[in-house]
């Protein structure tokens, strides 16, 4: 996945920021939310965060 792709338009959080947070131990959607803020506004990106985490886990 392109690191520059915006996953959460509400807060402008990119795939790269989520990947970095994952590497730093934020391995669940809730943890990603806490660390990056992604998913904490409208919630529309939560499925996409989950998909990205699943990709990172595999």
List contacts with ligand FES (CB under 6 A): 8-10, 38-45
Token representation of residue 56: 């990172």
For residue 50, which of 22, 12, 25 has the smallest C-alpha distance? 22
Residue number, 47 or 55, with CB nearest to ligand FES = 47
Q: How far is the CB of 38 from ligand FES (least distance, A)?
A: 6
Cα separation of 13 and 42, whole Å? 13
Residue number, 23 or 41, with CB nearest to ligand FES = 41
Q: How far is the CB of 58 from ligand FES (least distance, A)?
A: 23
């Amino acid at each position: 996945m392109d690191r520059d792709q915006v996953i959460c338009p509400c807060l402008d959080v990119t795939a790269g920021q989520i990947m970095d947070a994952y590497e730093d131990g934020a391995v669940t959607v809730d943890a990603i939310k806490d660390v990056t803020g992604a998913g904490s506004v409208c919630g529309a990106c939560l499925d996409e965060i989950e998909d990205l985490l699943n990709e990172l886990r595999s």
